[in-house]
Structure formats: structure tokens, C-alpha cells
Structure 1
Amino acid sequence: MAELTIKNAAGKEAGTVELDAAVFGLEPNVPVMHQVVTAQLAARRAGTQSTKTRSEVRGGGAKPYRQKGTGNARQGSIRAPQYSGGGIALGPKPRKYDQKTPKKMVKLATRSALSDRAAEGKVVVVDSWDFETPKTKLAKQALDALDVAGNVLVVLAHDDVNALLSFRNLPSVQVIDAGELNAYDVLCSDWVVFTKASLPSDEAPVAAATAEESEEA
């Protein structure tokens, strides 16, 4: 297990914590992360695109002109695909893009992403936020004191409401519940900030949510 210094909201040292090697000490599995992230992004697609075929567009019930003798190519309807206003040939129809991803694979991808951030020294553990009232100014000061920059993923315990309301208005910060931790959000962030209460371990495992569940969150 790797030892990490715990800090408080003022950026001061507040002890140490052991990062679970089963969560933060793996060799990142890049193919698994790619497959899980692809499935998660696919689940975000609405799949509501739709076009009308020649049987669905309005009009065109009568044959436009007689079969022979006009010198034109024979036609049966002015709503055929080659006509303006006609139906679309082989156009898109509503569909689902969801991919089935095993829970073990989702868990491995999340742990691989966390291990990658930990190997880069981009994981921070805070004792607790202790915001008496929600205040974005205090949240920004706390991140400045922790010396984290860029895109920051703040992982909170379920009942840490004041911290959620304080961080959510910062444009470069994404706030997520510990139970919704996933590979995509970790990989999109330069820093991952936990509290002691939200820090995952093998005893308090990383949630193995499906791509669909992650999107609903």
C-alpha cells in the first residue's frame, strides 16, 4: 500500500492514509478502460434520430404519368427517394446504442483509471471539508490551498451536502458521489480529490455501476 499525506481544507498536513493497492496500485488495463468508456459514451446517446421512408411521407399515391410514351423514365410515385420531398432510402431510425458491459470489467476500468492518477501523483485526500454553509468562494480557496489546477474531480460522501453545493458552481470542477465513481470521469480529470469518508478501498469497494447507471447518475 502507498502512503499518502492527508490535508485539510487549508492545505495543511493532517496525517497520513494508506491507499489500497487493490484500487490505486494496479497496472492500468488500457483496453478494458477503452471498452468501458466507449460503452459509457454510447449509453449517453439518445438514439432518437428518425427519417421517413417512402411509405411514411405524405402524398404520392397516384402514378405521376403514364408508363409509356412520355420519353421519361417510368415512375410509380413522386415520393420515391429520388424525388425532392420523397422518402429517405436506408435512413436512420430510432435505436438504442447501449452496450452490455460486465460489472467486473467496469470495476477493473475504474480501478485502472484511479491507479493511473495515483501513479502520476494526482490523487489528493482531504480530512473533511467542514463547510458550515454552502459557499463557492470557500471551495475555490480550498482548491487553491491544495494546489490543484485544471479539471478537478471532487468525490464526496453521500451526506456531504454543503460541499456539493459549494463546489458545483466552479466551471473546472466536477462533483460526484462516491457511489457513482467511474472510469470516464476519472480519466477526464487532471486531479481526483477524495475525503477520508469517500476514499475507496477493497473493503469499501468502488461501485461497479453499468454504463447505463452511470449515465442516469
Structure 2
Amino acid sequence: MKVAVLDIKGKETGRKVDLSDDVFAIEPNEHAIYLDVKQYLAHQRQGTHKSKERAEIAGSTRKIKKQKGTGTARAGSIKSPIFKGGGRIFGPRPRSYGQKLNKNVKRLARKSALSLKSRQKELLVVEDFNLETPKTKDFVQILKSLGLENKKSLIVLGGTNNNVYLSSRNFERSEVVTSSELNTYKILNANSLVLVESAVEGIQSNLSK
């Protein structure tokens, strides 16, 4: 599948890049996408929640009333969960929400997400570019030229580029990642996917294994 390469002014350069059908034109597997997104979101959870149970509450261990003759239920400690200020029953404990996922399923999910973007005409290929200094204004001008100023976009670079990354960091509707950082959630969360020309080879080599 051949796609026209644009310059940063949004005009065609006259060149085309060949996108592999095995990566950008497969039949999307919705269940694989679901599993990969679910794993990604689970890994975003810190799992540091904690509440005190009755053994951790500070308080007297004295029996608060006699066992019989009060006409109410027996009670042995003020730290009991049934009293105000007592411990919590089955409260949350620190835990990891991480989930395991077969790497072949993850690869299938990413190829499915890229194929969806390609099928929905939400994928652009732009020639490699650089910014002399980190300026949000210059980065926004590039997005304007590509017609993406008011859209949520994901720009994929071939490698680390600090000037482009720092220029985008203050613009909430756009995110810049490298081809090695690309994941299913970020692809689907963007309205438009912009691949820098040098990133195409990296994506295809990573997903064609």
C-alpha cells in the first residue's frame, strides 16, 4: 500500500512510501485490541491504596462491656469494625494491577489499531523535520498546515528529538512519541496518526517479527 509523503506545510512532496499490508492492512482483531488496551490501563493504576484494619487501629483492647446482661450484642474491643473509628472490614491493600499478555497478541493488537487508522483515512506520512529551538508556536504552525490544529493527534518520530518533543509538551491535543514507544491505546486515542517518514521502517520491523 503506497501513501503520499507530505511536507510540514501539508503539501505533497511527490514521493510515496510503501506501507506493509501485513502491518497496515490486516483485518482488525477487536478482541486483541480490547486485551491490549485493558492491560495498558491496568498498568497505569498505582495500587497504593490502603485502609487500616482492626489490628492496625490505635485504641484500647479493654473489653468495653460485660459479656452478658446488657441486652445488646457482645463486644470485646472498641477497634471492632462495627464501632465508629474501628478498623475497616476487608479494606483495600497495596497490590499490583499488572496483567500478563502474550507478546503475539500485543503485536496483533497494534497492527489491528494501525490498520483501523489506515482504513479510516486517519493516517498521514510526513517527511522528517526538525525544529531549531523548542517553540510551541512553531509546532502549532506545523499542525495547522496539516489540518490537525483542532484534532487530537499522535506524532510518531523515528528516534528521539528533544526540540520537537519539548515544543509539543505544552500543547494538550497532541502527543509526540518514538516508534518504539507506540502502543495500541495511544494509536486509538488519537483522531489522527502522523508518521514521520523515518518512523515507518521502525514500526514495520518491530511488528513484522
What is the TM-score of this pair, normalised by structure 1?
A: 0.90
In 2, the alpha carbon distance for the partners of 1:146 and 1:202 equals 22
**2:16 partner SS:** strand
In 1, the alpha carbon distance for the partners of 2:189 and 2:54 equals 44
Q: CA deviation at 1:177?
A: 1.4
Provide the residue aligned with 1:88 in structure 2: 88
Provide the residue aligned with 1:139 in structure 2: 139
The answer to whether 1:62 aligns with 2:75 is no
**2:159 partner SS:** coil
Q: Which amino acid is 1:144 matched to?
A: K
Percent identical pairs in the alignment equals 36
In 1, the alpha carbon distance for the partners of 2:204 and 2:121 equals 23
In 2, the alpha carbon distance for the partners of 1:12 and 1:196 equals 15
Provide the residue aligned with 1:101 in structure 2: 101
Provide the residue aligned with 1:8 in structure 2: 7
- Which contiguous aligned blocks of 4+ residues in structure 1 show a shift greater than 3 angstroms? 200-203
Q: Which amino acid is 2:45 matched to?
A: R
Q: CA deviation at 1:202?
A: 7.1
Provide the residue aligned with 1:181 in structure 2: 182
In 2, are the aligned partners of 1:180 and 1:207 still within 8 Å (CA)? no
The answer to whether 1:71 aligns with 2:71 is yes
In 1, are the aligned partners of 2:42 and 2:99 still within 8 Å (CA)? yes
In 1, are the aligned partners of 2:123 and 2:192 still within 8 Å (CA)? yes
The answer to whether 1:37 aligns with 2:34 is no
Q: Equivalent residues in 2 for 1:169-208 (5 A)?
A: 169-200=170-201, 204-206=205-207
In 2 relative to 1, CA 97–178 (structure 1 residues): closer, same or farther, beyond 3 Å? same
User: 5+ residue gaps in structure 2?
Assistant: none
What is the TM-score of this pair, normalised by structure 2?
A: 0.93
Provide the residue aligned with 2:159 in structure 1: 158
In 2 relative to 1, CA 126–184 (structure 1 residues): closer, same or farther, beyond 3 Å? same
Q: Which amino acid is 2:100 matched to?
A: K
User: 5+ residue gaps in structure 1?
Assistant: 209-217
In 1, are the aligned partners of 2:20 and 2:204 still within 8 Å (CA)? no
Provide the residue aligned with 1:211 in structure 2: none
Q: CA deviation at 1:96?
A: 0.9
In 2, are the aligned partners of 1:7 and 1:126 still within 8 Å (CA)? yes
Q: CA deviation at 1:160?
A: 2.3
**1:197 partner SS:** helix
The structure carrying a bigger helix percent of its residues is 2
